[in-house]
Amino acid sequence: MSRYNPETTAGRRGLIIKMLDEYGQVNVNELSKHFKVSEVTIRNDLAHLEQKNLLIRARGGAIKTEKASLDLRFLEKKSKHVREKEAIGRKAARYIDEGDTIVVDSGTTTREIVNHLARFSRLTVITNALNIASTLADMDNITIIMPGGIMRHNILTLVGAIAIDNFKKFFGDKLFLAADGIDVNLGLSSPDLEEAALKRTMLKMARKVIAVADSSKFGKRHLAVICNISQIDVLITDSGISASDKEALEKMGVEVVVV
């Protein structure tokens, strides 16, 4: 459980899911004592998780659903650098114009962008992330396109050759790209070969490429290279970026936006 920060809402909810996965059920009173928060807070947590079909609320607590173990990796990533990701997502949404067709990559930072799309009267979103599509499902102003692919059950993301072939049929105004690693020499990278391959396809799908990543991603290199720095038009990150990295990126022609 140490991978989650119990002092944050996302971290606490991630731990609740892990406890459900391990024990099959949880109790409101026991969770309140364990996390040192009110029972009202715990009930709100359980209600939120039930809306995402991650548990079923029962009298005095909740029980496990089969889906409860699927989103652990996503919840774990979401519990880190929460404020930074929210600020980056809010800033990134300002790059979207009315009537745009945008490609939104899967990821916890790109997920924050779609929280700020209600102001548009007409928008088209192409994405490979089921959680992003689900968030937008109730917005009648947004046309959602999911080109298909093989679903990664643990993170609800579509990848593979089918996804690549289908994504090639579309083109957008802007791509919002996520990455697990950013190195000024290597470029952007991912630990997942299939995700990296799909991201490389996405890079060819838009007029403007906007990368979004919190500063913890800098200086990291992973197995699969997504692209080099020169393929990025804009990079939105937080104030944790080093002066040397910012300067190097700008010298390569990247517009660096710090939130």
pLDDT band with cut points at 50, 70 and 90 for residue 159: very high
pLDDT band with cut points at 50, 70 and 90 for residue 1: very low
Distance CA 159, CA 151 (A): 6
CA nearest 198: which of 143, 140, 254, 127? 127
pLDDT band with cut points at 50, 70 and 90 for residue 156: confident
Q: Would you say residue 72 has pLDDT above 80?
A: no
Q: Would you say residue 206 has pLDDT above 90?
A: yes
**Packing angle of the helix pair 28-35, 39-51 (nearest 10 deg):** 110
Fold topology of 81-258: Rossmann fold (3.40.50)
Residues 6 or more apart in contact with residue 199 via CB below 8 angstroms:
105, 177, 178, 179, 188, 190, 226, 227
99-123 mean pLDDT: 96
pLDDT at 18: 87
Tokens 């930074």: give the residue. Answer: 84
Q: Would you say residue 119 has pLDDT above 50?
A: yes
> Is the full-model pTM beyond 0.85?
no
73 versus 198: the higher-pLDDT residue is 198
Alpha-helical (H) ranges within the chain are: 9-23, 28-35, 39-51, 72-78, 82-93, 108-113, 130-136, 161-167, 193-202, 243-251
> Fold match between 9-76 and 81-258?
no
Q: Which CATH number fits domain 9-76: 2.40.440.10, 3.30.230.70, 1.10.10.10, 3.50.50.60?
A: 1.10.10.10
Other beta carbons within 10 Å of 1: 10
**∠ CA 6-135-150 to the nearest 5 degrees?**
95
**Packing angle of the helix pair 28-35, 9-23 (nearest 10 deg):** 130
Domain ranges across the chain? 9-76, 81-258
